[in-house]
Amino acid sequence: MSEQGYADKRAYFDRMLTLYGRKPALEALRDKALECHALHLAHSNREGGIVGELINAAEQRGIPVQRHSREELARISRNGKQDQGVALDVICPAFQSVGGYLDTLDSARPQRLLALDGITNPQNLGMIVRSAAAGDIDGLLWARKGNAAPGPLVVKASAGTLYRAPVLTCPELPGALEQCQRHGFDVCTLESSAQTDLFAYQPQRHCVFVLGNETDGVSSKVSRLAQQKLSIPMNNGVESLNVAVTASLIAYAGRIERG
Amino acid sequence: MSEQGYADKRAYFDRMLTLYGRKPALEALRDKALECHALHLAHSNREGGIVGELINAAEQRGIPVQRHSREELARISRNGKQDQGVALDVICPAFQSVGGYLDTLDSARPQRLLALDGITNPQNLGMIVRSAAAGDIDGLLWARKGNAAPGPLVVKASAGTLYRAPVLTCPELPGALEQCQRHGFDVCTLESSAQTDLFAYQPQRHCVFVLGNETDGVSSKVSRLAQQKLSIPMNNGVESLNVAVTASLIAYAGRIERG
């Protein structure tokens, strides 16, 4: 394969989100706006009822149906306990690798990225995705290590917006943040002890805002990389905000600056 | 009882939140910062283990322990299926009736209230409470009719901030909104079809922002009362935001405007 061919193939797989579960797969197959790569079924499935509907829906759209052993399917779904013998590769048009994003970045307008540093609750992740997609976030830095994977619970909690969200994938966060810094980004962590108010901070450069774990906050490794630490002012002795709420405030903090 | 005595008593009960469940009651009894009115136990409870701990904790703090039939307790807890035979009256210092709030309102600064119009998910309610308490919301208009009641799930989802939140109680919302209007408030509903951008709207008068039901939005009765309809701009074809996220953006919209 040519170098370009290899790069294209890698970019294609960076856009792939593997769903599992019978109902989520059927809903996705029936959504004509979603491109799908393949439907994966375990040999152990009985071919009737909803499995029959899945096969029909895939065949009608010309999507390949691949059959696997239970063990192989669990490797594909990454959740053998909950996959119900079904996985589906969905192609998300706005997903790409961090490297691919940075290499083609050509914007005079300061970029605002949001990064996930140990977000494990799919409900929170779904809300973060929804608000980031709706608000002014150019990319959501999603490390495979340390965060819950994009799966059916996240799709549901995101009200289906995950498929269209600008997700930037990477193996682990600290390395990806350093990569961003080399491309002129400032790393801004949200930390409750920080002195600078998020709403007073008006970045003139590219910026990655980092959201920490729901309980422990930003990891020390990531905190050490930060050029800027920000906090959100709180009344009534409230000590912290929900992480998805914090994400939303970041996503809309620039509204007035930009008009 | 004198008229003043009666009014004081009513104000006291407006501040009362009745929790149910063994663990939530024990946690609240052990929080010295929380004033408690009475611990209610069903006769059916076995007096050992956690029930013993509840009685000890109440007696140590001089909080009356009242015993009831299972049926009476269900009336007190309003959730006989999940109360585990235990209810606890907590006094929340910032709770009051809408009428009490309006009658004593004496502020040159424009007030910002947030009103709940059919919010039934306790997880969302908890996040709304937490963000309203942290942000710039002077009162949270909470009608008993149409919304989930403030209970243990809301307390948990609010990260304990419900006890300190400025909750304004009322029997039903439309009447309370008309009461606010008679005191110089504008009613602003959040509706996705509205033309005016929340972030461009800078109220100079007192304002009640109304959050509608998670699925159906603001009720038609309330929508008809609105002087102003507002929406939040959304990118990437996202059609709506989570209601708690919307609440947070309202709670901090004044900060974003001020920059």
Which of A130, A200, A234 has its CB closest to that of B238? A130
So what's the pLDDT on residue B231? 96
Shortest CB distance from B238 goes to which of A134, A232, A257? A134
- How far is B141 from A80, CA to CA, in rounded Å? 46
pLDDT in tens, A175-217: 999 999 999 999 999 999 999 999 989 888 999 999 999 999 9
Hey, of B162, B255, B258, which one would you mutate to test binding to chain A, going by the most A CBs within 10 A of its CB? B255
Give mean pLDDT, residues B199-222. 94
> pLDDT tens digits for B174-183?
999 999 999 9
Average of per-residue pLDDT across B67-86: 94
> pLDDT exceeding 70 applies to what percent of chain B?
98
Interface-testing mutation among A127, A243, A245, A256, with chain B (most B C-beta atoms within 10 A): A245
The single-letter DSSP state of residue B213 is B
> In the predicted model, what is the mean pLDDT of residues B45-55?
89
Chain B residues whose C-beta is within 8 A of a chain A C-beta are 94, 123, 127, 130-131, 133-136, 159, 161, 164-166, 199, 232-242, 244-245, 248-249, 252, 255-259
**HEC secondary structure over chain A:** CCHHHHHHHHHHHHCEEEEECHHHHHHHHHCCCCEEEEEEEECCCCCCHHHHHHHHHHHHCCCCEEEECHHHHHHHHCCCCCCCCEEEEEECCCCEEHHHHHHCCCCCCCCEEEEEECCCCHHHHHHHHHHHHHCCCCEEEEECCCCCCCCHHHHHHCCCHHHHCCEEEECCHHHHHHHHHHCCEEEEEECCCCCEEHHHCCCCCEEEEEEEECCCECCHHHHHHCCEEEECCCCCCCCCCCHHHHHHHHHHHCHHHHC
Give how far B130 is from chain A: nearest CA, Å: 7
Q: What is the pLDDT of residues B135-166, one digit of tens each?
A: 999 999 999 999 998 888 899 999 989 999 99
Residues of B in contact with A257 (CB under 8 A): 259
State residue B257's pLDDT score. Answer: 55
Interchain contact, A202 vs B259, CB within 8 Å? yes
Q: How confident is the model at residue B259 (pLDDT cuts 50, 70, 90)?
A: very low
User: Which stretches in chain A have pLDDT values below 70?
Assistant: 1, 256-259
A8: tokens are 């294209």
User: What pLDDT, in 10s, does the model give residues B230-240?
Assistant: 999 999 989 99
What does the pLDDT read at residue B173?
98
pLDDT at A207: 96
Q: Which domains does chain B have, with CATH numbers?
A: 3-91 (3.30.1330.30), 96-258 (3.40.1280.10)
Q: Residue A129 corresponds to which amino acid?
A: V
Listed residue (B137, B166, B174) closest to B150, CA to CA: B166
CA separation for the pair A161, A164 (Å, rounded): 6
Contacts of B164 in chain A (CB under 8 A): 236-238
Q: Calculate the dihedral angle through the C-alpha atoms of B92, B97, B103, B107, rounding to the nearest 10 degrees.
A: 50
Q: How many CB atoms within 10 Å of residue B63?
A: 17
User: What tokens appear for A142 in the block?
Assistant: 């999603």
